[in-house]
Amino acid sequence: MYLMYADESGDCGMYDATKPDKTGSKYFILTGVFVHVNKWKIALETLKAFRKKIACEGFLAYDVEFHCAEMIDPHKVKAFTQISVKERWALMEEYAEIIGQTKSFKIISVVIDKTKSSLTKDDYLTTAVATLYEAFDEFLKSESTYGLVFLDRANEKTINTHVRKLLGTGARGETAPSTRIAWIIEDPIFRVSHDSMFIQTADLIAYTLKEKEFPTTARKKFNADRIFGKKLSKSLFQSKKSNDDGIIRV
CATH for 191? 3.30.420
The pLDDT value recorded for residue 108 is 98
Strand partners, 2: 36, 147
The percentage of residues in the chain with a pLDDT greater than 90, rounded to a whole number, is 89
Mean pLDDT over residues 209-219, rounded?
Answer: 97
In order of 17, 74, 172, 222, 224, the CA distances from 56 in angstroms are 44, 21, 52, 24, 25
User: In this structure, is residue 50 part of a structural domain?
Assistant: no
User: In this structure, is residue 193 part of a structural domain?
Assistant: yes
Q: Has residue 13 got a pLDDT over 70?
A: yes
The pLDDT value recorded for residue 171 is 61
User: In this structure, is residue 202 part of a structural domain?
Assistant: yes
> What sign for the dihedral angle of Cα 35, 40, 43, 47?
positive
Number of domains in the chain: 1
For the stretch 40-78, pLDDT in tens is 999 999 999 999 999 999 999 999 999 999 999 998 889
The pLDDT value recorded for residue 140 is 98
For the stretch 133-182, pLDDT in tens is 999 999 999 999 999 999 999 899 999 999 999 998 876 667 777 778 99
User: In this structure, is residue 40 part of a structural domain?
Assistant: no
What is the torsion angle, in degrees rounded to the nearest 10, for the CA atoms of residue 213, residue 218, residue 220 and residue 221? -170
The pLDDT value recorded for residue 16 is 86
Mean pLDDT over residues 194-206, rounded?
Answer: 97
> What sign for the dihedral angle of Cα 210, 212, 218, 219?
positive
- Shortest CA distance to 212 belongs to which of 199, 223, 200? 223
Angstrom distance (rounded) from CA 81 to CA 76: 6
User: In this structure, is residue 83 part of a structural domain?
Assistant: no
> Domain containing 29: what range?
2-34+106-249
Render 69-84 in DSSP notation, one character per residue.
Answer: HHHHS-TT-HHHHTS-
For the chain, what is the mean pLDDT?
94
11 falls in which pLDDT band (50, 70, 90)? very high
CA atoms within 13 A on the CB side of 95: 28
Count Cβ atoms below 10 Å from residue 54 Cβ, excluding itself.
18
- DSSP E strand boundaries for the chain: 2-10, 27-36, 106-113, 147-152, 189-191, 248-249
User: In this structure, is residue 155 part of a structural domain?
Assistant: yes
User: In this structure, is residue 82 part of a structural domain?
Assistant: no
19 falls in which pLDDT band (50, 70, 90)? confident
The pLDDT value recorded for residue 157 is 93
The percentage of residues in the chain with a pLDDT greater than 70, rounded to a whole number, is 99
Q: Has residue 20 got a pLDDT over 90?
A: no
The pLDDT value recorded for residue 44 is 98
Query: Which of 24-33, 96-105, 176-185 comes out lowest in average pLDDT?
Result: 176-185
147, 140 Cβ separation under 8 angstroms: yes
The pLDDT value recorded for residue 125 is 97
Q: Is 57 helix (H, G, I), strand (E, B) or coil?
A: coil
